[in-house]
């Protein structure tokens, strides 16, 4: 039985048969990586602060159906590796799946756990829930009382602004009194120490406020008298009435006469009756939005005049549009039918537009955009159609495309895209996979699964969140100079990629300037070796190694990486291949079909680009076929073969069991007959123990194999192990004539007889 995440969960929950439980326990005891994963599963399940994925989440691991299929062992084979990789990389998803698996195992073991509660236990549960809700509602009510009191005080201050500083002091006093009454134990000590002079000032402020209210009342009565006089005069002159009515919107004409519109202050919504009637000293005309319910209740007119276009000079009610959009969400009470409308029919509004019956979904704001034309792939989930299940595919971004709130991106070979994320420019190198998000506080964040990126910003206060291996934190400052971030997947030679996970190394390196790094807790713990927050000087690097996952180190480099300060660009050949692929896509050819068409192109660079990109997507048929091609016009040069193999095969082996298994199966199916197992073993490499056990002789014998790809792999392995001089290396060419290869074979056989084909000799 293989050691996978799902079998490990079954072993933890003790749901396997006894013999398989014992067998898997032995494998866990022999694997340090499995033991670390077991400890991590136990921690994340017991940790209460781990968030839960959204119910409506999209994507493979964020989809509840995918989780259910994984737990039922019905998830598609081609999606299983990706799902388990997400579980290994994400505590949130790992905790969800492990907890669900534990619950299912518990229910299966103890059927009584799913039995309904009896009356006594049900009553106890309801009483506990009611007590909890009562406590919660009491706290909410107290917070609302405090907020209402503060709002009343603020409204009184705003209303009394015209009365001078004394009126403001009066408002402050009222605010203090209201808060003291509503919040127990919060009596203001300052109000008890008021002097007699302050009391006289408060009384004077109250008097001035009364005078102000009296003046406003007088103006209101005077305005009403003027309106009455104008109405009497209009009765004597009906022509003026008709002319005036033609200039008023039909909504206003159809409603009964009211007082002149005045904008009420915020205190009008307070439950205090004294402040609700306080008007503004200088009323201004406002435009009031009318919805369907308001218009339907107003009596219809015989022939309403068309409404004029709204003037842009008129002020609008604050937040009026937003409230109108949200209004359909609230249930409106049924209104009586308007006159002349049959019962059971909805009266038609008289407004010049029809408000929507429900709000349109607001698209999530973009978090950035693809800055230049370098090809960048992102993961898209296609919905289920015609009975086929939903599936995830990789598609290229359109030029200058916007980034969704969460983007999983992949950089194919020969591509050098640039992404602007929250004000930070990120340039990922080829063979990089990362996830781009933005934190709730607006900080852009990149999580690198493997590969290298260069980040910089044009603002000194720019920040960037980083998750790279075990390094988790935020670059708080220093992005004016480029910063390199990398994650490397490494496998020791001779290890089995289907059983032993790759060793992960990560680093953050500065160039000309330093950065301020603030680390975040991982599983509730900070990394040892570095402080929680500190300065990283120029040409220093924070390094993390999966072999010691709780420790990080700061080292000074003799020189920054070459790809940090001078960002590499593709050469003319790579650029031509990338342009050829972009031209196919621009013509309307689907991305996957364009890659397969290019894999049989007459130009070697086009075939290499297509095969390497398909290999990064987990499809190895074209890659293995190209590595083993020997025909005229199809065979790669030695330099091209080494470049293609080095960029694709080690990554496929390090990405996990499923990826390595597919590559192994492809070698068996497409490679030279009977050579698939040997090719896979040479791709994995050999340890010193394996070489001493006879693998060195096997490699030397493979130098004379009839298949070119076997000779190339054998020569590659020997050169990596021994590191011969240029003169000794030139004695053998895998694609040379048989008689010319004999000298090199003899030299390598002599090295094998002296037991010099060992990694130990180079250490």
59 and 38 part of one domain: yes
What percentage of the chain carries pLDDT values higher than 70? 65
631 and 557 part of one domain: no
Dist CA 553 CA 545 (whole Å): 9
More confident residue, 199 or 631: 631
Indicate whether 218 belongs to any domain. Answer: no
29 and 126 part of one domain: no
642 and 687 part of one domain: yes
Dist CA 476 CA 469 (whole Å): 19
If you search the block for the tokens 């790669």, which residue do you land on? 636
Tokens linked to 183: 């919040």
Name which of 714, 727, 718, 717 is nearest 751 in CA terms: 718
281 and 386 part of one domain: no
Residues 6+ apart with CB under 8 A from 401: 369, 370
Strand residues in 238-384 grouped as ranges (E): 368-370, 377-382
373 and 429 part of one domain: yes
419-437: average pLDDT: 91
373-387: average pLDDT: 80
| Final residue belonging to a domain, choices 69, 90, 114 | 114
Indicate whether 483 belongs to any domain. Answer: yes
Structural domain of 494: 368-565
Largest interatomic CA distance in the chain: 127
What integer pLDDT is reported at residue 613 of this predicted model? 92
48 and 125 part of one domain: no
484 and 507 part of one domain: yes
385 and 309 part of one domain: no
603 and 749 part of one domain: yes
What integer pLDDT is reported at residue 140 of this predicted model? 56
More confident residue, 708 or 761: 708
Name which of 700, 713, 707 is nearest 757 in CA terms: 700
Number of neighbouring beta carbons within 10 Å of residue 40? 17
Q: Give residue-wise pLDDT tens across range 39-54.
A: 888 888 877 667 777 6
* Residue pair 435/406 in contact by the 8 Å Cβ criterion: yes
Dist CA 279 CA 159 (whole Å): 8
Summary mean pLDDT of the chain: 74
Indicate whether 548 belongs to any domain. Answer: yes
420 and 532 part of one domain: yes
Strand residues in 305-431 grouped as ranges (E): 368-370, 377-382, 391-396, 402-403, 407-411, 419-421, 424-428
* Residue pair 609/578 in contact by the 8 Å Cβ criterion: yes
Concatenate the DSSP letters of all residues of 629-676 into one string. Answer: --STTTPPPHHHHHHHHHHHHHHHHHT-HHHHHHHHHHHHHHSSTT-H
pLDDT at 730 over 60: yes
Dist CA 535 CA 280 (whole Å): 56
Least confident of 96-110, 445-459, 666-680, 732-746: 96-110
94 and 177 part of one domain: no
| Three-class SS state of 499 | coil
Indicate whether 747 belongs to any domain. Answer: yes
Cα dist from 388 to 60, 65, 382, 628, whole Å: 15, 14, 10, 35
Q: Give residue-wise pLDDT tens across range 177-211.
A: 333 333 344 444 444 444 455 556 666 766 776 77
Domain count, the chain: 5
Indicate whether 544 belongs to any domain. Answer: yes
């Amino acid at each position: 039985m293989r050691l996978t995440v799902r079998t490990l969960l079954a072993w933890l929950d003790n749901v396997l048969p006894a013999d398989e439980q014992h067998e898997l326990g032995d494998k866990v005891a022999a694997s340090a990586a499995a033991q670390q994963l077991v400890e991590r599963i136990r921690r994340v399940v017991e940790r209460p602060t781990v968030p839960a994925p959204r119910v409506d989440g999209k994507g493979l691991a964020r989809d509840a159906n995918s989780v259910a299929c994984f737990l039922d062992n019905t998830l598609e084979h081609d999606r299983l590796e990706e799902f388990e990789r997400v579980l290994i990389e994400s505590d949130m998803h790992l905790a969800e799946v492990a907890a669900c698996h534990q619950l299912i195992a518990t229910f299966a073991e103890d059927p009584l756990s799913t039995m309904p509660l009896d009356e006594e236990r049900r009553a106890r549960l309801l009483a506990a829930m009611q007590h909890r809700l009562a406590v919660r509602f009491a706290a909410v009510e107290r917070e609302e009382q405090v907020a209402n009191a503060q709002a009343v005080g603020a409204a009184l201050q705003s209303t009394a602004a015209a009365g001078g500083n004394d009126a403001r002091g009066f408002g402050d006093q009222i605010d203090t009194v209201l808060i003291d009454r509503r919040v127990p134990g919060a009596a203001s000590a300052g109000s008890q120490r008021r002097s007699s002079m302050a009391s006289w000032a408060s009384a004077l402020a109250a008097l001035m406020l009364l005078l102000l209210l009296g003046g406003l009342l007088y103006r209101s009565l005077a305005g009403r008298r003027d309106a009455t006089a104008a109405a009497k005069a209009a009765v004597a002159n009906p022509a003026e009435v008709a002319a005036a009515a033609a200039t008023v919107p039909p909504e206003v004409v159809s409603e009964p006469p009211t007082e002149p519109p005045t904008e009420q202050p915020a205190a009008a919504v307070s439950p205090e009756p004294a402040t609700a009637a306080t008007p503004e000293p200088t009323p201004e005309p406002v435009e009031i939005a009318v919805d369907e319910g308001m218009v339907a209740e107003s009596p219809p007119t015989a022939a309403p005049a068309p409404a004029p276009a709204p003037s842009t000079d008129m002020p609008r009610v604050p937040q009026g549009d937003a409230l109108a959009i949200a209004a359909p969400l609230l249930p409106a009470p049924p209104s009586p039918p308007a006159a002349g409308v049959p019962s059971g029919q909805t009266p038609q509004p008289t407004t010049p537009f029809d408000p929507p019956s429900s709000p349109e979904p607001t698209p999530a704001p973009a978090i950035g955009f693809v800055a230049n034309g370098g090809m960048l792939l992102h993961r898209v989930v296609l919905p289920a159609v015609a009975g086929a299940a939903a599936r995830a595919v990789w598609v290229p971004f359109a030029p200058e495309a916007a980034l969704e709130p969460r983007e999983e991106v992949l950089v194919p070979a020969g591509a050098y895209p640039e992404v602007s994320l929250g004000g930070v420019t990120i340039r990922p190198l080829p063979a990089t996979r990362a996830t781009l998000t933005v934190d709730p506080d607006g900080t852009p964040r990149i999580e690198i699964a493997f590969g290298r990126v260069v980040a910089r910003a044009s603002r000194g206060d720019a920040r960037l969140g980083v998750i790279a291996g075990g390094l988790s934190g935020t670059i708080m400052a220093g992005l004016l100079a480029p910063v390199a971030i990398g994650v490397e997947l490494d496998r020791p030679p001779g290890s089995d990629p289907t059983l032993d996970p790759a060793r992960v190394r990560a680093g953050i390196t500065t160039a000309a300037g330093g950065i301020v790094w603030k680390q975040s807790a991982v599983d509730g713990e900070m990394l040892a070796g570095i402080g929680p927050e500190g300065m990283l000087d120029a040409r220093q690097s924070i390094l993390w190694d999966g072999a010691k996952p709780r420790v990080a180190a700061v080292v000074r480099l003799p020189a920054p990486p070459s790809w940090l300060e001078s960002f590499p660009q593709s050469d003319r050949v790579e650029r031509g291949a990338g342009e050829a692929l972009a031209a196919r896509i621009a013509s309307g050819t689907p991305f996957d079909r364009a890659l397969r068409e290019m894999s049989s192109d007459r130009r070697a660079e086009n075939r290499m680009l297509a095969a390497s990109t398909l290999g990064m997507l987990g499809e190895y048929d074209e890659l293995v076929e190209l590595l083993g091609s020997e025909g005229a016009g199809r065979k790669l040069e030695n330099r091209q073969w080494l470049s293609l193999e080095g960029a694709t095969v080690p990554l496929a082996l390090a990405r996990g069991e499923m990826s390595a298994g597919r590559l192994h199966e492809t070698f068996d199916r497409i490679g030279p007959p009977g050579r698939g197992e040997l090719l896979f073993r040479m791709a994995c490499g050999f340890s010193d123990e394996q070489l001493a056990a006879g693998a060195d002789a096997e490699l030397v014998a493979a130098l004379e194999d009839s298949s070119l790809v076997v000779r190339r792999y054998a020569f590659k392995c020997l050169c990596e192990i021994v590191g011969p001089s240029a003169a000794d290396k030139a004695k053998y060419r895998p694609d040379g004539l048989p008689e010319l290869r004999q000298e090199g074979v003899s030299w390598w056989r002599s090295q094998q007889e002296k037991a010099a084909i060992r990694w130990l000799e180079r250490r």
